[in-house]
Amino acid sequence: MATTPTSASLLQEVKAQPLSIATAAILRSTIQFFYTRKGRIAACGSGVLLTVDNRYFVATAAHVLAGQAYTTFVILPPHEVTLAGTLLTTSPPPPGRRQDDKIDLAVLELTDAGQIGQLREAYQFLTLAELSTSPRHLTDVYLSVGFPAATTRSFNGHVKTAPYPLQVQRTKDFDYAGFRLHPAAHLVLDFTGDVLSVTNPAPHRRPKMEGISGSGLWDTGNYLLGDPAQERKLVGIVTEELTVRRRKYLLVTRTTVLLEFMRQSFGLNIPVSTTVKVNLSRGLQRLADGQARQAAAARTTSAG
């Protein structure tokens, strides 16, 4: 027997096509990181490609790359490539545990001209105009687009990946101060119960989300009336999933903090933040071009 669609399901179907357009635009600036586990390629996180002052960067969560940059790679078919450049990360608070770092940012400035050329052919680097530093947006519903490890498969050197574009809503009753967070620096999103995704507009259980760390959170603006690919703006970097009294939350570090970290760390010619007043201390790791190429030299794969 056929069922009558509800008004909510009809509305979600109307949203599906423009959200798919927005997702496609987001994926052109989103890259997946891998590592080798037990002889197989496995997903370890996501990142967002940015360009500022004619320089090229990858922004991600610090725990994705910190201490393991030489063993982490991206796939630029048909090769696995360890990206060369200067990696800067926020420093964890004493006693130095990365899991206590509530900013949890890493930015890699790319220095290998060949790799930059390959990435520019395969992806689109975001400009400053495509980032939002506003504390308020048209709605409190955002789009998270990353690559969960649960949707990544490898077999005989072949890799199959599937992004998971998820609609998430800002929670209004979270105790920011109790978790050493600040609304000017963080967004906390409701991650409990059934969810809606761009690929599945019906309420459903989400896959395990390990692997989306370092991906972007996006404001889709007035995507129903405007061009969804142009309306989307990066508002933050996904860093952590929190569990509080059996409720799940997604923690995001805002682009305001990301840009101030990049300004302080890389000496970029961008405006000083009016909301982030702290010195964002960082750890430094330089991935020399030759060393990075050597680390990737023996690796090739077919990407599906």
What are the pLDDT digits (tens) for 157-182?
677 777 878 888 898 889 998 888 98
Residue 17: half-sphere exposure toward Cβ, Cα within 13 Å: 6
Pairwise pLDDT comparison (188 vs 71), residue with the higher score:
188
Pairwise pLDDT comparison (269 vs 71), residue with the higher score:
269
Query: Which token pair is 84?
Result: 């060369």
Pairwise pLDDT comparison (286 vs 70), residue with the higher score:
70
Give CA–CA dist 139/37, Å, rounded.
Answer: 40
Rg of the chain over all Cα atoms, to the nearest angstrom: 19
Instruction: Quote the pLDDT of residue 207.
Output: 63
Instruction: Quote the pLDDT of residue 303.
Output: 43
**Cβ neighbourhood burial of 216 (10 Å; 0-12, 13-18, 19+):** buried
Per-residue pLDDT for 239 more than 80?
yes
User: Do 74 and 112 touch, CB atoms closer than 8 A?
Assistant: no
pLDDT digits (tens, 9 = 90+) for 241-261: 888 888 889 999 999 999 999
Mean pLDDT of all residues in 193-203: 62
Peptide bond into 78 cis (omega under 30): yes
What are the boundaries of each domain within the chain? 7-303
Give the architecture-level CATH label for domain 7-303. Beta Barrel (2.40)
Counted residue by residue, the chain has a size of 304
AA letter at 224: L
Banded model confidence at residue 195, pLDDT cuts 50, 70, 90 = low
Mean pLDDT of all residues in 188-203: 69
pLDDT digits (tens, 9 = 90+) for 30-82: 999 998 887 788 888 999 999 999 999 999 999 998 877 778 899 888 888 99
- 2-to-5, 12, 13 alpha-carbon distances in Å: 9, 19, 17
Kindly write down the DSSP assignment for every residue of 172-232, as one continuous string. Answer: SS--TGGGT--TTTEEEEE--S-BEESS--S-BPPPP-TT-TT-EEEE--STTTS-HHHH-
